[in-house]
Copies of this chain bind each other. A is one copy, B any other.
């Protein structure tokens, strides 16, 4: 569905939101290890997310790193997609038509539309904080590690 870059962006942001605060910033090394992503590539992606501190905030130097403000944690997950410029994907015609609307629908339009609407709703109503909280509680995961037997 999304590009690798956006997948890493989503996982990295959730991890930072979960582990970090303005007082406890997270280094790129920790992030990429935690989410199983290539470190330098992830650094590049975080540069997009920190543009104008839109989603992620960062500080350089010792004890620097990444964090999300409390305000940023309340952003919808869609804000990550927007920062990655992969937001239009949610609106796109499934057959790739430039023109696909109620007036001139593609053959999948009517039925795909309702699925798209649910997708959009999901990304708009879910906040970064909600995802991070779930992860903190250990109910869900954002790495590729095999589950440990209880």
Interface set of A (CB-CB < 8 Å, partner B):
1-2, 4, 7-8, 10-11, 14, 77, 89, 92, 94-99, 103-109, 111-112, 114-115, 118-119, 122, 126, 130-132, 134-135, 139-147
Contacts and interface: CB of A to CB of B under 8 A. Distances in A.
Given A8-B96, A147-B104, A119 B115 contact: yes
Contacts of A109: 140
A126 B141 contact: no
Given A126-B111, A140-B105, A141-B104, A95 B10 contact: yes
Nearest to A10: B95
B126 A122 contact: no
- Determine which residue in A11, A108, A111, A144 has the highest number of CB atoms from chain B within 10 A of its CB, and name it: A108
